[in-house]
Structure 1
Amino acid sequence: MTDSKAVPTPRERKKDERTTLPVFYRQVVAELRKVVWPTQQQLTTYFLVVLVFVVVLMAITSALDLGLGKLAFWVFGGRD
């Protein structure tokens, strides 16, 4: 048996106590103060990048759907 205390055994684990609501709220506020919030310009840039990316992916998906649909109709003899 090893003398390592890196992983406690079930007997060594103490019963976890629940955090009270006020303590939880203070911890949340403290963590939110650490957040680096984006500026208005960064937010606008991020929004536009995501919007362009989504539109491009929609166009690619639509083109593939249309092309593969026409190919399936051609292969299986469906009407155009």
Structure 2
Amino acid sequence: MTETAAGSSQGGSAKKSGKSTRDAKGTKLGFFGRIALFVRQVIGELRKVVTPTRQELINYTIVVLVFVLIMIGITVLLDLIFGWGVGWVFGGSAPKES
């Protein structure tokens, strides 16, 4: 694959980094040539992707759900603590409905 601005460690545009998008022969690519190069690079990266097995997918889902439940618990606990603290500092109670 050829070096492009997206592949450089600089993170800047091709003109800023001094590198231009060129094909294998060294000629500068036009608009559609750059699009074709991008598509080829995307397909090349997608070929490297490894899909998880069913058991791995189940394990990952369980891990995410447990993590979300833990974060919900921490959030609820902090909300109750801060709510109690604000009520204590300002000496008020919840507004009463008429």
Distance of 2:34 and 2:78 partners within structure 1:
54
2:64 matched to 1:39?
Answer: no
In structure 1, the partner of 2:92 is: 78
Determine the C-alpha separation between the residues in 1 that align with 2:38 and 2:93: 64
Q: How far off is 1:31 after superposition?
A: 1.2
Amino acid at match of 1:74: W
Say if 2:64 is the partner of 1:50.
yes
CA deviation map 1:9-47 (0-9, x unaligned):
xxxx45x13552222212211111112221121111111
Q: Please list every run of 5 or more consecutive structure 2 residues that lacks an aligned counterpart in the other structure.
A: 1-17, 22-28
Amino acid at match of 1:69: G
The secondary structure found in structure 1 opposite 2:50 is coil
In the alignment, which of 26, 39, 52 is matched to residue 25 of structure 1?
Answer: 39
Letter in 1 for 2:77: A
Q: How many residues are treated as equivalent by the alignment?
A: 67
What amino acid does structure 2 have at the position aligned with 1:67?
A: I
Q: Which consecutive unaligned segments of at least 5 residues does structure 1 have?
A: 1-12
**2:93 partner amino acid:** R
